[in-house]
Amino acid sequence: MAEAQGTPPAAVKGGVIAYLCLEGAIKAGEFYKKALAAELVHQHPADDTGRTMHVHVYINDASVMISDPYPEHGCGFVAPAGFGLNLPVKDVDAWWQRAVDAGCTAIMPPADMFWGDRYAQAKDPFGVTWSFVGPKKG
């Protein structure tokens, strides 16, 4: 991969950082701005094949990092399965609705759950399941 100038590095937020390898990392970063109110804070430019090695966004005041697959450098792609990303938010309904309106597939609409939280799930076009959890309504 050729060295390229992108935006300046940004502070990393959070104790455990999700680093997603997705087909279309730049598109995913743009989608997350609409669907999850993400703030794009750093991005390497696309290479001559349209891939990027690094996109850094803040979602709900935490870092999420994204890369396209680079199998020739040991960073292959496996479709997302068996995991989800959990967003603790104050208004589950609003976060879930924004995600669905932006193009996420509704998996589980918001509902008050037996364990004491309000909870919902949506899957983004890149195959990642997002869970929204927060206080019960009323």
Every domain of the chain and the residues it spans:
18-69, 85-135
pLDDT band at 3 (very low <50, low <70, confident <90, very high): very low
Q: What is the pLDDT of residues 100-119, one digit of tens each?
A: 999 999 999 999 999 999 99
pLDDT(131) > 70: yes
Architecture of domain 18-69: 2-Layer Sandwich (3.30)
Q: Which pLDDT does position 5 carry in this prediction?
A: 62
AA identity, residue 116: G
Buried b (16+ CB within 10 A) or exposed e, 78-107: eebeeeebebebeebbebbbbbbebebeee
Q: What is the pLDDT of residues 57-93, one digit of tens each?
A: 999 999 999 999 999 988 888 877 778 899 999 999 9
Q: Which pLDDT does position 68 carry in this prediction?
A: 96
- Better pLDDT: 17 or 93: 93
CB atoms within 10 A of CB 60: 16
Q: Is 40 left (phi over 0), alpha (psi -120 to 50) or beta?
A: beta
CATH class of the domain comprising 85-135: alpha beta
DSSP for 101-136 reads HHTPEEEEEEEE-TTSEEEEEEE-TTS-EEEEEEEP
Is 85-135 in the same CATH topology as 18-69?
no
